[in-house]
């Protein structure tokens, strides 16, 4: 284990690089947006320079955020997105878009073996209590008996993938022949209100709901088209939301007690 900030160059040996570094929760990536951009631009550049030098295969953890607030639904990889260049989410969205560009240019210019995954909302055991994303927020709130904070009217949708399904998809992508980009996510789509209700039913039917302002540029809908992942990786999620939530709730219950 080496602890290192990838915005600084590093020399080491590797066969495969899973470039996963970057906070993914809006409250965390917006806490220091300039650092988020550095991580996605300088960090990705350094990891690609490293991959080029040691001839390692490089996998980029890109994101559904490259589609921004999508006006195509569900989102296929060909869709080029609807991203605000100057909003509070831009450090992450545009950072990942540049990271994809860097990966493809190192591939074309230097022959670096790249793999690009566009990861949709993912959740599961061992998320931090203060992660700030919706699944862990609702579970922690219901377990603690505080109101579930629904942003906006809760009609916006997300599609939630269980962590072990995602990891399987990333490993298949790394070890397969298709360079991507490729969507990895669970096509099961729910409104945020539906998610709140599910978690209330599973933890505490009397838990209250509290409506809060919708953050700026919050995407209205999101669902992956996973045709490519099915075709090229023979992959699709196996854990439905109810089962994944149960496993995640059990994990949080044991830690919060």
* Residues engaged in binding ligand UDP (CB under 6 A): 9-11, 25-26, 45-46, 49-50, 52-53, 121, 133-134, 137, 149-151, 156, 158, 192, 214-215, 218
Tokens of 154: 């809760």
Question: Which residue lies nearer to ligand UDP by CB, 210 or 253?
Answer: 210
Catalytic residue selected from 92, 106, 123, 162: 92
Question: Which residue lies nearer to ligand UDP by CB, 64 or 235?
Answer: 64
User: Measured from the CB of residue 235, what is the shortest distance to ligand UDP in angstroms?
Assistant: 21
Q: Is residue 67 flagged as an active site residue?
A: no
Question: Which residue lies nearer to ligand UDP by CB, 125 or 176?
Answer: 125
Contact 109, 48 (CB under 8 A): no
Question: Which residue lies nearer to ligand UDP by CB, 172 or 189?
Answer: 189
Residue nearest to ligand UDP (CB): 49
Question: Which distant-in-sequence residues (6+ apart) come within 8 Å of 223 by Cβ?
Answer: 73, 74, 75, 120, 157, 159, 185, 187, 189
User: Measured from the CB of residue 80, what is the shortest distance to ligand UDP in angstroms?
Assistant: 19
User: Measured from the CB of residue 231, what is the shortest distance to ligand UDP in angstroms?
Assistant: 26
The DSSP code sequence of 189-210 is: EEEHHHHHHHHHHHH-TT--EE
User: Measured from the CB of residue 173, what is the shortest distance to ligand UDP in angstroms?
Assistant: 21
Question: Which residue lies nearer to ligand UDP by CB, 172 or 195?
Answer: 195
User: Measured from the CB of residue 155, what is the shortest distance to ligand UDP in angstroms?
Assistant: 9
Give the residue numbers marked as catalytic: 92
């Amino acid at each position: 284990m080496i602890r290192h900030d990838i915005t600084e160059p590093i020399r080491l040996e590797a066969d495969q690089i899973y470039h996963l570094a970057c906070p993914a929760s809006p409250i965390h990536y917006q806490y220091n947006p300039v650092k988020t951009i550095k991580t996605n631009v300088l960090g990705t550049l350094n990891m690609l320079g490293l991959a080029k030098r040691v001839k390692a295969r490089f996998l980029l953890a890109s994101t559904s955020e490259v589609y921004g607030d999508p006006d195509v639904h569900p989102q296929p990889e060909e869709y080029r997105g609807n991203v605000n260049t100057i909003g509070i989410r831009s450090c992450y969205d545009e950072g990942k878009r540049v990271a994809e560009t860097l990966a493809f240019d190192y591939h074309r210019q230097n022959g670096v073996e790249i793999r690009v995954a566009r990861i949709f909302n993912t959740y599961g055991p061992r998320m931090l209590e203060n992660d700030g994303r919706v699944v862990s927020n609702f579970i922690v709130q219901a377990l603690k008996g505080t109101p579930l904070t629904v942003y906006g009217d809760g009609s916006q949708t997300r599609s939630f993938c269980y962590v072990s399904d995602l990891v399987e998809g990333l490993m298949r992508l790394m070890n397969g022949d298709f360079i991507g980009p490729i969507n990895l996510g669970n096509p099961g789509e729910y409104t945020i209100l539906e998610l709140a209700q599910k978690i209330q039913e599973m933890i505490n039917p009397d838990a209250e709901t509290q409506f809060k302002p919708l953050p700026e540029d919050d995407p209205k809908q999101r669902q992956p088209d996973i045709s490519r992942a099915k075709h090229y990786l023979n992959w699709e999620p196996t854990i439905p939301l109810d089962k994944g939530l149960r496993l995640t709730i059990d994990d949080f219950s044991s830690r919060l007690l």
